[in-house]
Amino acid sequence: MHKLQLRVIIFVLSIVALIISTEAQQLPEIPKTTSGKILTYLLNAFNSGDEEQWKNFIRDHWKEREGMFERRLGFFKQVYSDTDGLILHRIENSEDYNISVLLQAKKPTGLDEWLLLTLQIDTLPPHKLELLSAKPGEEPGFEVPEGILTEKQITDFLDRYLEHLVSKDRFSGTVLIAKDGKPFYTRVYGLACKRYNVPNKLDTKFNLGSMNKMFTGVAIMQLVEQGKISLNDTIGKYLPELPRKEIAEKVTIHHLLTHTSGMQDYWEEMFDSHWWEIKTVSQYADLVFGDTLLFEPGTDFHYSNSGPIVLGMIIEKVTGQDYYDYVREHIYKPAGMNNSDCYEVDLDVPNLAIGYTRVNYDGTPNPGGEWRNNLFMHAIKGGPAGGGYSTVEDLWRFDTALRNNKLISKKYFDILTTGKTQRGPGVMYAYLFQDRKVNGQRIIGHGGGAPGINANLDMYLDSGYTVAVMANYDQAAGMVSEKIEKLLTR
């Protein structure tokens, strides 16, 4: 073949390849409906990264509601910080005044890579945005299959999904699923210590975050069952020396257990103090009584880490035991939880995972940044509100002990875990447990999260499943737990 002919053929083939590549990358066309036009305005404004354009969109295209402007602007700021912009991947559903789309983050990380966005437009002129819903979307290729799945199908799907996450450095941790008290799925990925290349193991101890609240709730319920505490008593009955009389005289045990006390948090106070020295409940307690109540106790919900600290004080006062000793003796030991405790991280605790985060020290997210350890971002020892350590196997043992009434009787287990305060559709908060309904299935438990910390325990009361996921990456356990939930609640 002549060289000139060969060059022409190569040139033509390269043009064809370019056309095919361009067509493959072409974005889906947004329908020219009322909802499609609002979606176009939204994506153009959002992806500009320009706060003035965000404000203009909110003013011009979002139905005005009193007090919502700053919240909507804050939503734009947070999502943009997490994603660096959104790419339209697929139109899920489209009508004149409703549209749902699957979006991908330009700078993907954790739960923020795929987003299912739904817009509902007011049917009356001038047809402004009525409702915006954003929730994690299913990654293409990892949509949950239809119908009830066998254990083998669950296993095969999760193996493929987890290996995909690990290949993208989005998961490091352990996973356990049990059915009727018998584990059938256990997996381990990632490193407990990057510096020394130490791998995670099934019995690696991960930080629980707020999951310690469940242990505090069980401890209180044990004392209620023994007649040593009444749920309706004010806390002043047990702690008359409290410095704030409004808290002592108005707040009850019930309020503390349900986050309806009006008490605030203590994070700023902790990091303004010598936080590396805090190792007792009384040292935590020194931080929680400086603020006034946010509202009259019992009239609203505010998730408060201060409430469980006060409950820890009451446990110590009523039992005469140190809080940590009480939990070891009355919860960990009878449940067989040999790898759980509020360990002091300045000591060399064997097999303890180090947390890794992409959150800056000032609390702002850094999705594309390097992993950094979280040793200087948390208290040195956890307490009644969170910060202890456990393993997926110990969390499964905790679930088993609760269901088998080794820790409290069935009557008080029901009181402990039955929702008291509505938190959203199908979601209620019980006594330091969450109580949810998903496709008709009741799930109780709690999660925990902070920079470099993410863990979750879900107890499927109707179907008999236990799901425990622990991770030393931001948001990683929640992402996996949500996928498993979809598999188990078809």
Rounded distance, CA 205 to CA 52, Å? Answer: 46
Q: What is the pLDDT of residue 108?
A: 65
Q: Are strands 114-121 and 98-105 parallel, antiparallel or unpaired?
A: antiparallel
Q: What is the pLDDT of residue 377?
A: 86
Rounded distance, CA 264 to CA 280, Å? Answer: 20
Rounded distance, CA 437 to CA 391, Å? Answer: 26
Asked whether residue 8 is domain-assigned, the answer is no
Count of domains forming the chain? 2
Task: Find out whether 474 and 454 touch, Cβ atoms under 8 Å.
Answer: yes
Rounded distance, CA 305 to CA 379, Å? Answer: 13
Rounded distance, CA 324 to CA 335, Å? Answer: 15
Asked whether residue 326 is domain-assigned, the answer is yes
Please identify, among 136, 158, 191, the residue that sits at the C-terminal boundary of a domain.
136
Asked whether residue 328 is domain-assigned, the answer is yes
- Residue 268 belongs to what H/E stretch? helix 267-272
Coil/strand/helix, residue 221: helix
Give rounded-to-5 percent helix, strand, coil for the chain.
Answer: 40, 20, 40
Both 217 and 353 in one domain: the answer is yes
Query: What is the tens place of the pLDDT at every residue in 342-392?
Result: 999 989 999 999 999 988 877 777 766 789 999 888 888 999 999 999 999
Q: Which domain holds residue 113?
A: 28-136
| Angle, vertex CA 263, rays to CA 259 and CA 269, nearest 5 | 125
Q: Which residues contact 150 (CB under 8 A, 6 or more apart)?
A: none
Q: What is the pLDDT of residue 485?
A: 96
Kindly report the pTM of this predicted structure: 0.83
How many CA atoms are closer than 13 Å to the CA of 27, on its beta-carbon side? 13
Domain holding 98: CATH number?
A: 3.10.450.50
Asked whether residue 159 is domain-assigned, the answer is no
Both 131 and 226 in one domain: the answer is no
Please identify, among 103, 136, 169, the residue that sits at the C-terminal boundary of a domain.
136
Please identify, among 112, 136, 160, the residue that sits at the C-terminal boundary of a domain.
136
Tokens coding 489: 């609640």
Q: What is the pLDDT of residue 278?
A: 84
Question: Could you tell me which of 389, 406, 279 has the C-alpha nearest to residue 335?
Answer: 406
Both 129 and 218 in one domain: the answer is no
Rounded distance, CA 198 to CA 182, Å? Answer: 29
Q: What is the pLDDT of residue 360?
A: 83
The count of residues in the chain is: 490
Q: What is the pLDDT of residue 365?
A: 73
| Angle, vertex CA 58, rays to CA 54 and CA 62, nearest 5 | 145
Asked whether residue 21 is domain-assigned, the answer is no
Coil/strand/helix, residue 209: helix
Residues in the chain, pLDDT under 50: 1-25
Question: Could you tell me which of 270, 311, 263 has the C-alpha nearest to residue 291?
Answer: 263
Both 230 and 104 in one domain: the answer is no
Task: Find out whether 257 and 432 touch, Cβ atoms under 8 Å.
Answer: yes
Q: Are strands 356-357 and 206-207 parallel, antiparallel or unpaired?
A: unpaired
Query: What is the tens place of the pLDDT at every residue in 39-85?
Result: 999 999 999 999 999 999 999 999 998 889 998 999 999 889 878 89
Looking at every residue in the chain, the average pLDDT score rounds to 90
Angle, in degrees to the nearest 10, between helices 34-48 and 51-61: 160
Task: Find out whether 323 and 316 touch, Cβ atoms under 8 Å.
Answer: yes
